[in-house]
Amino acid sequence: AQSVAQPEDQVNVAEGNPLTVKCTYSVSGNPYLFWYVQYPNRGLQFLLKYITGDNLVKGSYGFEAEFNKSQTSFHLKKPSALVSDSALYFCAVRVANSGNTPLVFGKGTRLSVIA
């Protein structure tokens, strides 16, 4: 079985400060890991993914994520937060070489960036 945990329901950060949204995963095998963002009453937008190779993945809107196999984590980061980054963020996982099975999502973390 595969699962994702996002331990924080809410993250608050001041504008201009660095932000981190945490994600840990559990899979049998190697993971493919994804981050999505959702604005109110909208669908999810893809930010970035880790497949293999470099542990630091860069994505859209200045976001990046670091894959840590020993800690089974894939935390989302941004060096300087913007008010417009305020949204709901989802981490997702799929086991590598399992076919295109559906992604398993975490419960989401609401990010609030305060001006």
Partner 1 sequence: DGGITQSPKYLFRKEGQNVTLSCEQNLNHDAMYWYRQDPGQGLRLIYYSQIVNDFQKGDIAEGYSVSREKKESFPLTVTSAQKNPTAFYLCASTIRSGAGPDEQFFGPGTRLTVL
- For partner 1, the binding residues (CB under 8 A) are 9, 32, 34, 36, 41-46, 49, 51, 90, 94-103, 105-108
Which CB sits closer to partner 1, 36 or 63? Answer: 36
Residue with tokens 């937060």: 81
Which CB sits closer to partner 1, 99 or 115? Answer: 99
- Rounded CA-CA distance 105/34 in Å is 9
- Rounded CA-CA distance 40/80 in Å is 22
Question: Which residues on adjacent β-strands are paired with residue 22?
Answer: none
Closest CB 115 distance from partner 1, rounded Å: 25
- Rounded CA-CA distance 37/63 in Å is 11
Which CB sits closer to partner 1, 29 or 115? Answer: 29
Q: Between the CA atoms of 39, 75, 51 and 105, what dihedral angle is there, to the nearest 10 degrees?
A: -50
Which CB sits closer to partner 1, 5 or 82? Answer: 5
Closest CB 11 distance from partner 1, rounded Å: 15
Closest CB 90 distance from partner 1, rounded Å: 7
Closest CB 108 distance from partner 1, rounded Å: 5
Tokens at residue 57, please? 């993945």
